[in-house]
Amino acid sequence: MTEHRPFTLPPGNGAKVCVGGGAGFIGSHIAKRLKENGYKVTVVDWKENEFMKPEEFCDEFILDDLRKLEVAVRACKDCLQVYNLAADMGGMGFICSNESVLSFNNTSISMNMLEAARRSKCRDFFYASSACVYNEAKQEDPENPGLVESDAWPARPQDMYGLEKLYAEEMALAYGRDFPLNIRIARFHNIYGPRGTWKGGREKAPAAFCRKAITSTVEYEIWGDGLQTRSFTYIDDCVEGVLRLTFSDCDVPINLGSTEMISMNDFAAVALSYEDKGHLPIKHIDGPMGVRGRNSNNVLIMEKLGWEPTTKIVDGLRKTYFWIKGEIEREIKEGNTADFSKSEIVQQVEDSLLQLGNEESTV
Ligand code: NAD
Ligand code: GKE
């Protein structure tokens, strides 16, 4: 393994930072690390964190809607740094069935957080982009050689979620050119770990595969033929990468992903291995498959940060599996009788659009 460049998170000494979407999976882990290092963390999110009390990961919690500019402006006031992790997002069962709603929501959030950071004269702005920005034509082979950052252009992301991410990247880069705001952008490759969404339809493959392995008794369902490939990135690596990037001088979008690519059939075998359930027959069923093959190329992140994610699937998924097992046991004790061995496809068009209401902007 190549040696990694040393990195110590600069002490916060009370400096104010804002984490948009900080009650979510990745945002809450980042907010917690910043708070532990002496930053005064404001989290803004329209829902509360399911697994932690606000005081564990922030100093101020604003429960509000980032589709409103005035909310973003209030949250970013006097901040040295802004981390935008807020988005209407989920795995394949969510993003391909909610394209209109998430386009509306995410465009508004991305725009507002960036403009709020500028108005507040923040120093650094981190934006959470995605491997979903990449051109679909580069992801048609399960033997994906690793997506290089330049593969995003010419643009042909598979869906609106990816296209919005690509536009938001460009908008942030333009702000960085026009104003004294350091723009840092990471393209996350399927992040997983404890405290991530594991049920309800927004969960991605790692959590879904663990949940199904824990609860399946007769057969194990996989969407598609299971030959599709992905790389998965453990949450601790993600947090480390975001902080290294934000405190670096890297001003171009970079991959933040593992290069350990695996087929979904093999990934299921890993999930089933923790409690010797490998005998369960796999049942391939229809479902949203996404791209055929995806992997991260880490040449640029190694060049810019001297670091890349290192957690092996077998280790990261084990921690995720036993955390989800605990959650399932708790839910069953509380009387939940849901069938966790199946994954859902959710559509939330009406509710989500209506949540915006008709309030007048005050900014
Ligand atoms: P998450 O859903 O757990 O977190 C997103 C948070 O944004 C949620 O807490 C949600 O309530 C909040 N949010 C959504 N709409 C909002 C609104 N209108 N106002 C205020 N808050 C709002 O997802 P995550 O996995 O933590 O993802 C964080 C970021 O990373 C997102 O931008 C996502 O698109 C990006 N990303 C994640 C992955 C991944 O594998 N998890 C991969 C690529 C990119
Ligand atoms: N979610 C889920 N649930 N996926 C399943 C399931 C299941 O029960 N069974 C099989 N799969 C397959 C999907 O069909 C897909 O081929 C693969 O697992 C990975 O699905 P995923 O984790 O939901 O999402 P993707 O990697 O395709 O895409 C995600 O990429 C991220 C960036 O790398 C996106 O949904 C975003 O969450 C994100 O931007």
222 domain residue, yes or no:
yes
Distance of CA 115 to the CA centre of its chain: 22
Convert the pLDDT of each residue in 78-88 to its tens digit: 999 999 999 99
Share of the chain above pLDDT 70, in %: 96
Name, in order, each residue with C-beta under 8 angstroms of 329's C-beta and a sequence gap of 6 or more: none
Give the Cα separation of 290 and 251 in Å (integer): 29
Say if ligand 1 is within 6 A of residue 321 CB.
Answer: no
Q: What is the pLDDT of residue 357?
A: 47
Ligand 1 pocket, 30 CB below 6 A? no
Give residue 252 CA to ligand 2 midpoint distance, Å: 26
**CA atoms within 13 A of residue 113's CA, in its CB half-sphere:** 33
pLDDT score for 1? 62
Q: What is the pLDDT of residue 121?
A: 98
Q: Is 113 in the pocket of ligand 1 (CB under 6 A)?
A: no
- Answer whether residue 262 is part of any domain: yes
Domain count, the chain: 1
What is the CATH classification number for the domain harbouring 259?
Answer: 3.40.50.720
C-beta of 135 in contact with ligand 1 (< 6 A)? no
345 within a domain of the structure (yes/no)? no
Task: Name the one residue in this structure whose structure tokens are 């077998």.
Answer: 314
In this structure, which residue's CA is closest to atom 23 in ligand 2?
91
Asked if residue 3 is part of any domain, the answer here is no
| Residue 33: inside a domain | yes
- List 293's β-bridge partners, or say none: 229
Residue spans of alpha helices (H) in the chain: 25-36, 54-57, 69-76, 92-95, 99-119, 160-178, 205-215, 235-246, 264-273, 299-305, 313-333, 349-354
Best residue among 26, 68, 234, 296 to mutate for probing ligand 1's pocket (most ligand atoms within 8 Å of CB) is 26
pLDDT of 94 over the 80 cut: yes
* CB 105 less than 6 A from any atom of ligand 1: yes
Question: Which of 129, 130, 204 to probe ligand 2 with, by most ligand atoms within 8 A of CB?
Answer: 204
1 falls within a domain:
no
pLDDT, one tens digit per residue, over 116-174 is 999 999 999 999 999 999 999 999 999 999 999 999 999 999 999 999 999 999 999 99
Is the beta carbon of 163 within 6 A of some atom in ligand 2?
no
**Mean pLDDT score, 232-260:** 98
Cα(136) to centroid(ligand 2), Å? 15
* Catalytic residue from among 83, 161, 192, 274: 161
Q: What is the pLDDT of residues 52-80, one digit of tens each?
A: 999 999 999 999 999 999 999 999 999 99
Encode pLDDT of 319-363 as tens digits.
999 999 999 999 999 999 999 999 999 887 555 554 554 455 454
The pLDDT value given to residue 2: 74
Give the pLDDT of residue 359: 53
pLDDT at residue 92, rounded to an integer: 96
Q: For the chain, how are helix, strand and coil distributed in percent, rounded to 5?
A: 40, 15, 45
What pLDDT sits at residue 350? Answer: 56
| Cβ atoms of residues 334 and 278 within 8 Å | no
The verdict on residue 358 lying in a domain is no
45 CB within 6 A, ligand 1: yes
| Average pLDDT of the residues of the chain | 95
Q: Closest ligand 2 atom, CA of 291?
A: 27
Q: Is residue 5 part of a domain?
A: no
Is there a catalytic annotation at residue 161? yes
pLDDT-above-90 percentage for the chain: 94
Which atom number of ligand 2 is nearest to the Cα of residue 222?
9
Q: What is the ipTM, given to two decimal places?
A: 0.99
Q: Which atom of ligand 1 is nearest to the CA of 188?
A: 43
Residue span of the structural domain in which 127 resides = 16-338
Nearest one of 267, 260, 255 to 310, comparing CA atoms: 260
Kindly report the pTM of this predicted structure. 0.97
CA of 92 relative to ligand 2 center, distance in Å = 5
In degrees rounded to 5, what are phi and psi of residue 262? -145, 145
- The best mutation among 25, 89, 92, 151 to test binding of ligand 2, ranked by most ligand atoms within 8 Å of the C-beta, falls on 92
State whether the beta carbon of 132 lies less than 6 angstroms from ligand 2: yes
Residue 346: what pLDDT?
86
